[in-house]
Structure 1
Amino acid sequence: MNEICREHGINQPTFYKWKSKYVGLDVQQLPKMKELQKCIRVVGLTPDQIPNFFRKAA
């Protein structure tokens, strides 16, 4: 684990954060996830507002 993190220039907490965030996603789903994150930043939502935003939009 240490070697992988060192090779990619990240620390272990970052690795585990990314792992928990992206586990189970297919390669095809990653661009969609990044686009969604970009849209959320543009709209200016905080993490606690995101579930409510999608409930209202549905």
Structure 2
Amino acid sequence: MYKITAQVKKGMQSWGTVILYRDFEMNKNDLIKSFESYVIDFEREIKVDVEVKNFQCIKI
């Protein structure tokens, strides 16, 4: 089990703190890829600029 913590900024939103628990290790780029796109109406995929700082992945 891994605990992933980071500060994330998505598009024009302000910085927010993210805490995730995963069975697999993630790096900063994996976290960015998981937050940068989302699907609307099952057809359109929108990509948003994502910034990450203070990234940590700790095995617990």
TM-score range, shorter-chain basis?
under 0.3
Higher helix proportion (structure 1 or 2): 1
**TM score, norm. by length of structure 1:** 0.26
More strand by share: 2
Which of structures 1 and 2 has the bigger CA Rg? 1
Q: TM-score, normalised by structure 2?
A: 0.25
